Amino acid sequence: AQRVTQPEKLLSVFKGAPVELKCNYSYSGSPELFWYVQYSRQRLQLLLRHISRESIKGFTADLNKGETSFHLKKPFAQEEDSAMYYCALRGYNQGGKLIFGQGTELSVKP
Amino acid sequence: GAVVSQHPSRVICKSGTSVKIECRSLDFQATTMFWYRQFPKQSLMLMATSNEGSKATYEQGVEKDKFLINHASLTLSTLTVTSAHPEDSSFYICSATRQGGIYNEQFFGPGTRLTVL
């Protein structure tokens, strides 16, 4: 079964601290993995996709196929990073649909 | 570019009435549109995949007679919640995939808050 698991519902850190939002997936094959972010009162937007191996707003995520993980990391959190973060999976040849994790609320305190 | 709108942004209706929600891709043609349901601070649950000119594909457990989807053009999909009940109250979000775009990225609408009294 396809599944995305984000074990932390809430992650609270102080400004300047490192942050890691965990994501594990279950999929029999090679999926595409994404991180989406939803700031307060805004729509969901793409943050990162594993295939492009980029760093956006200081965030990076590495796909670890052995551990079936795609954790999101940032070395120094900023207050403006406070938001809901969703890890998502897209399977091959499945019409493009995304399977989302439960989401992790990141709160960065001053 | 790649803006998706939804109308209305919020709607309150009485139990038993039907509500239509529109999803439009404003500046691109969408090969596929998706409808999600989101509960407060919870995940997005995919309800159905909508392709222009064909029947929608519903996810397991989603009643197709309850949630009618029409995808009449490459820029418009509608979701009609028929005979709405309080348990249908939720945040409904659509997304669209741009035709010809690389990565087949999904662009999300702002959502529609439905409250059924």
Residue reference for tokens 């009618």 = B68
Q: A101 at the B interface (CB within 8 A)?
A: yes
Q: What is the mean pLDDT of residues B34-59?
A: 89
Instruction: Provide the pLDDT confidence category of residue B101 given band limits of 50, 70 and 90.
Output: low
CB atoms within 10 A of CB A5: 14
Nearest alpha carbon to residue A12 among A106, A77, A79: A106
Kindly list the residues from chain B whose CB atom is less than 8 angstroms away from the CB atom of residue A105. Answer: 41
> Which range among B8-22, B27-41, B43-57 has the greatest average pLDDT?
B8-22
Q: What is the mean pLDDT of residues A80-101?
A: 90
Distance CA B9, CA B19 (A): 12
What are the strands, taking DSSP E only, across B1-117? 4-7, 10-13, 19-25, 30-38, 44-51, 57-58, 67-73, 76-81, 90-98, 106-108, 112-116
Does the pLDDT at position A55 exceed 90? no
Q: Which has more confidence, A57 or B98?
A: A57
Interface of A with B in 51-70 (CB under 8 A): 51-52
pLDDT of res. A54: 80
User: Is the distance from CB of B9 to CB of B114 less than 8 angstroms?
Assistant: no
Q: A95: part of which helix (H) or strand (E)?
A: none
pLDDT of res. B59: 93
Q: What is the mean pLDDT of residues B73-96?
A: 94
Q: What is the mean pLDDT of residues A52-57?
A: 82
In this prediction, what percent of chain B has a pLDDT beyond 70? 95
Interface of B with A in 24-53 (CB under 8 A): 32, 34, 41-46, 49
Q: Provide the mean pLDDT of chain B.
A: 91
Does the pLDDT at position B15 exceed 90? yes
Distance CA A65, CA A25 (A): 9
Distance CA B70, CA B23 (A): 10
pLDDT of res. B42: 79
Interface contact flag, A52 B103, Cβ < 8 Å? yes
Give the number of A-B residue pairs with CB atoms closer than 8 Å.
Answer: 50
Which of A49, A51, A102 faces B43 most closely, judged by CB atoms?
A102
